[in-house]
Amino acid sequence: MYFTSNIKLLRKRLRMTQEELAKALQIPRPTLNNYENGVSQPTIKALITFSQYFHVSVDTLLKVDMVSLTPGVLSMIMNGDDIFMTGTKLRVLATTMSPQNKDNIELVNEKAKAGYATGFADPEFIRTLPVFQLPFLSKERKYRTFQISGDSMLPIPDASYVTGEFVENWFLIRDKHAYIFVTNEDGILFKIAENKLMDEGKLILHSLNSFYKPFELGVNSIREVWKFVNYISSEVPEPNISRDELIKTVMELKQDVFLLKKQSEK
């Protein structure tokens, strides 16, 4: 447990003496001194009191060595953005069940995407979504399907239906894996993740289409995360270009550029 070093660190970051903090918490100063020196252990009531005062989760106070955190992350926590709580807390997911008492896969199509960004936690809204079943998926996990738009994830085509598995613990997001993110500002995003939540409180999101540059997504902008499972599309994928065909295409382009340059010099 890191409670002893954490409360001492938090007190010093606020530039408070033991006397001042004890008065603010309405506890005897010797009691606070004993906590900071590991002489006595806090009660549940005391843990809640410290948690509420510092705006830090009890989990963080006990399990996270805050002394080892970077200044940026520590500042985020002290500003009320406890990413360790945000990333791992239990989320109540609005869902629907089939007449056979099985989890449905709700479909968030293009028309429903705007409403889902604000109504994702509203059971009444979720009940308005079309539902279906995919028998080859696990019955023990929760899935949802989103219709994507644009070409940022080519070769997955525009208007494809992308199915994801619900991710409760965001710290389990794996680098170089695809996820669907429900966000505050940008709505629904389908991207490849680079997980920097633990060190920097953010994700770096990448597109499969190299034309699009990576960008950052802060943990406090995330509402839901779904791990990519599969996609459905009515489009037939374009065949891969062979190495010889690719070389030929490049040479033809070079020749075209050469001719255009010659014409411009005349």
pLDDT digits (tens, 9 = 90+) for 90-137: 555 788 988 888 899 999 999 999 999 889 988 899 999 999 999 999
Q: Which secondary-structure segment (H or E) carries 81?
A: none
Over the Cα atoms of the chain, what is R_g?
A: 26
Residue 4 in this model has a pLDDT that exceeds 80? yes
**What is the C-alpha separation between 4 and 62, in angstroms, rounded?**
9
Q: List the domain boundaries for the chain.
A: 3-83, 105-232
Looking at every residue in the chain, the average pLDDT score rounds to 87
Residue with tokens 């953005």: 81
pLDDT digits (tens, 9 = 90+) for 17-53: 999 999 999 999 999 999 999 999 999 999 999 988 9
CATH number assigned to the domain with residue range 105-232, chosen from the 4 options 3.30.70.20, 3.90.1720.10, 3.60.15.10, 2.10.109.10: 2.10.109.10
SS3 178: strand
Structural tokens at position 209: 């289409």
- What percentage of the chain has pLDDT greater than the value 70? 89
Return the pLDDT at 172. Answer: 87
CATH class of 3-83: mainly alpha
CB 222 within 8 A of CB 181: yes
Structural tokens at position 194: 């680079």
CB 225 within 8 A of CB 191: no
SS3 169: coil
Q: How many CB atoms lie within 10 A of CB 257?
A: 10
Pairing outcome for strands 143-147 and 105-108? parallel
**What is the C-alpha separation between 25 and 47, in angstroms, rounded?**
11
CB 18 within 8 A of CB 32: yes
**What is the C-alpha separation between 92 and 77, in angstroms, rounded?**
23
Rounded mean pLDDT, 220-228 = 92
**What is the C-alpha separation between 75 and 12, in angstroms, rounded?**
13
